[in-house]
Structure 1
């Protein structure tokens, strides 16, 4: 069974990294569209040394802290009961494996960036990141916790978003110059982070649907109608989040293009405006 903090902490990490990825992709593209390359992580411009690799430190340190919480704090070192793994904390052990993969990705990327011992191309880092997302996908798809009913519905949507992260990251390795692919990666990360928060507030916070409750570690609804209403509410929440993120990305693109836009981007927009005017005159 999950908890509010157990969803809010990874949600924060995914949300911060996702928003930074979107912003960086937009700035890099409008600044010089001809030399644009897909990046699985984005350095902080204007800084040298470790501050330049701040995103990688956030990924590595954040996943390590969450790993310690899942593996050390939650089970209180009670790993075995009667000679077998403690069944009461299988959920924590599974989450630890997922977080370990993200920690390994952050560590490998840092070694590749700051040392000469592990120089990897961006495509290889994309595939390593996709491996970490695949571990997360398998965790939530084959979870030891029985995700049925309303809880299961929220986790199904989460699994779909993780699948989008895998697809966009792998595609980034195959299409290293595609701006839409890089932007999609940032959007998928952001949506995943927001959905972690939405799950926390709905299932373990003040937004529990009417007729449903958290009791004895399980989420139950009084009737099938209450459960269906909860699922419909989840659909509405998801569509609202997707729409909100897409609108925010469009607004951010307009702002970034006006402030950092390269002459090629401005020329492209001018040509599009002329084409639209011609089409309107034709009508």
Structure 2
């Protein structure tokens, strides 16, 4: 069982990175569609280049902070008991291992981009990013914490969104000039971040469905009907998020295309005469 902060913190990281990826992909494509390439990370322009690698620092440092919270703070430093890993905190150890993969990803990309020790092409960096999401996928799919009922349904949707992140990144690696795939990757990461937030507010916050409540470490519903209503509410929440993200993406793309749009994009939308 998790907690409200335990979902909000990673949700914030995924949401920030996902929104930044969407914006960057649209700007890069609208500026010059012919030179567009799929990227697993996007540099920050301006500020004399001082913030170029900000995204990678956010991933590496943010992931490391969350890793330390899971491994040290949540376990109260009782990591080993009687010579073995503390069985009461296996959930925290699993989360820490997943977060460590994203830290490693951020460090590897930084080494590849800033030094000559590990020069890797964009395709290889994309696959390393997909590997980090695979670790997250396997964590929530083969969790030591048994997710049942309404809690299990929210985590099932999370697993599906993580799988979408993996598929879009791998597909983008295979088709490195595809703008839709790069955009879809950012949308998938954004939806994952939003769903972490939704899970926090629903299971551990004020949005618990009527007829269900948090008892100890379990979400309990009074009846099967209450659980079904909770699952239908989760479906509605997911559909609403998808609609809002797609609508916002379309609106932002319209702004990016009109502001920095390449002549090729603007001309492709000029209506043909009769």
Report the TM-score, using the length of structure 2 for normalisation.
0.98
* Partners of 1:119 and 1:83 in 2: CA distance: 41
| 2:139 match | 139
| 2:83 match | 83
* Pairs within 5 Å for 1:162-173: 162-173=162-173
| 2:113 match | 113
| 1:225 match | 225
Q: Does 1:32 align with 2:32?
A: yes
| Structure 1 residue matching 2:220: 3-state secondary structure | strand
Tell me how large the CA RMSD over aligned residues is: 1.0
| 2:264 match | 264
* Partners of 1:221 and 1:60 in 2: CA distance: 39
For structure 1, which segment, 81-90 or 13-22, has the greater mean C-alpha deviation from structure 2 after superposition? 81-90
Deviation for aligned residue 1:81: 2.7
Report if aligned partners of 2:109, 2:125 keep a CA contact under 8 Å in 1. Answer: yes
| 1:92 match | 92
**Residues 44-82 of structure 1: CA distance to partner in whole angstroms, max 9, x if unpaired?**
112455510100000000000000000111101111233
* Partners of 2:121 and 2:45 in 1: CA distance: 20
* Pairs within 5 Å for 1:196-275: 196-270=196-270, 273-274=271-272
Q: Does 1:55 align with 2:55?
A: yes
| 1:123 match | 123
* Partners of 1:71 and 1:120 in 2: CA distance: 30
| 1:281 match | none
* Partners of 2:192 and 2:19 in 1: CA distance: 11
**Residues 187-236 of structure 1: CA distance to partner in whole angstroms, max 9, x if unpaired?**
00000000000000000000000000001111100110000000000000
Report if aligned partners of 2:137, 2:163 keep a CA contact under 8 Å in 1. Answer: yes
| 1:189 match | 189
Deviation for aligned residue 1:168: 0.6
| Structure 1 residue matching 2:214: 3-state secondary structure | strand
Deviation for aligned residue 1:243: 0.6
Report the TM-score, using the length of structure 1 for normalisation.
0.95
